[in-house]
Amino acid sequence: METRRKWQYTLGTLALVLGLGVGGRPAQAATPVCPSCGGAPLGPGGSFVLTCDVGPCAVGPALTVNSASLNMNSHTVSCSDNTIDGVVLTGTKATLLNGTVTGCFDGVELQGTGSHEVTNVTSTGNANFGFDEVSGSNANKLSSNTASNNGRVVPDHTCPGSFCCDFTVGFGFDLNGNGNILRSNSATGNFDDGFRLDGSSNNLAGDKSNTNDVDSIPILCNDNVTVFSSTTDAGGDGFDANGDSNLLSGVTANGNADDGVDIDGNKNRVTGSTANGNDNDGMVVNGGGHNTFSSNTANNNTDDGFAIDFGSGVKSLTGNKADGNSEGFEIDGPSGNILSGNTATKNGDGFEIENYSDNNLLKANVALNNYSEGITIEGGHNNIISSNKALGNPDFDLEDTNGSCDANAWVANTFGSANQSCIH
């Protein structure tokens, strides 16, 4: 048996040296192509390499890859008509790598049943999305791609009896399928969200989404007033996850015109990530339940570092750090959340529970040198505040605005000042 294994290994090695593929057949070389705009699809099957730029194209899609592999070989696909798509991947297990797509509607569109791979592709200056995955295309892998300056202003001046303005569209990455893997992609300067996740069970690691929904885009309203700020539109998140069971690990969301990370779904996880200098919240839960945030950093955001605003069910925040925000950690309405081992420094308030948020647990958190209160409850009930450390906060280290603390339990905390004797 050992002799047979050695012979199998030797034959396999010899096949690789001779350039043979599976079963001793020659490995397939990429076919050089210089296709015309809107021509026949490449594939199904086969491997191709571009030998020329394609476009500017007025018919589309500019290129279609059907269950095949295309190496763009550092070439560019461009469109003269921004209502047509650039490169469309269809079928299954199509591959696209090493090129640029610009001036089209969607730069790269993933169709078919999925399992496509896109690597080292730049999609820039397209009218709609940089990378668009249609519903039904699942389990795609996107690695080391760049989506920049995609989007447009959409005129909207026909709303009788009401006030309306132009609005912006344009995601860097728009994912509508499930089970995708994203690694080290970048979204910068797009007109709306950097990454939009409407599907579930997507896995992101090391992706960056910075300065999306940029200011100073002219917006015209139907009263003929021009507003020089695209923030009149509600988009501009770094990462906007609307599905369930997504994982965001080690992602970066800095300087976006809305939130850094916006979660509106169930059982999503954000870990080891950074959200700094965003115009609204660093990281926020706007719906759903059982979402978790661990070991993240949110600094110098205009509003909250971490905010739990809507939804039901437990949200767990553990080991996160917030510095220099309006509020470090805020629970605004939802109940039954757990915050443990978090640190808030140099914010307005360190930790705030408000608007009748009940049955929350804050344990073993640290609130140091914030500019107002360390930990404050404004209207919530049946909360447990235990074993926290709050020092150097000038108004109160610990504060409860309910008379006699109502049914809130303040237990075994370390602090210098408090507004009521029921706080311990």
pLDDT, mean of each 10-residue run, the chain (424 residues): 42 40 56 96 97 96 98 98 97 98 98 98 98 96 97 75 73 97 97 95 98 69 55 70 96 95 95 97 92 97 94 85 98 92 98 92 98 95 97 98 96 98 97
Which pLDDT tens digit goes with each residue over 267-307? Answer: 999 999 999 999 999 999 988 889 999 999 999 999 999 99
Question: What is the value of pTM for the model shown?
Answer: 0.90
DSSP 374: S
On the CB side of 37, how many CA atoms lie within 13 Å of its CA?
18
The phi and psi torsions of 218 (rounded to 5 degrees) equal: -65, 125
On the CB side of 361, how many CA atoms lie within 13 Å of its CA?
12
Taking the C-alpha atoms of residue 210 and residue 199, their distance in angstroms, rounded to an integer, is 22
What's the confidence (pLDDT) of residue 161?
A: 63
What's the confidence (pLDDT) of residue 12?
A: 43
- Which domains, ranges and CATH numbers included, belong to the chain? 2-415 (2.160.20)
What's the confidence (pLDDT) of residue 228?
A: 45
* SS3 (DSSP) at 14: helix
Radius of gyration of the chain measured on its C-alpha atoms: 26
74, burial (CB in 10 Å: exposed 0-12, middle 13-18, buried 19+): exposed
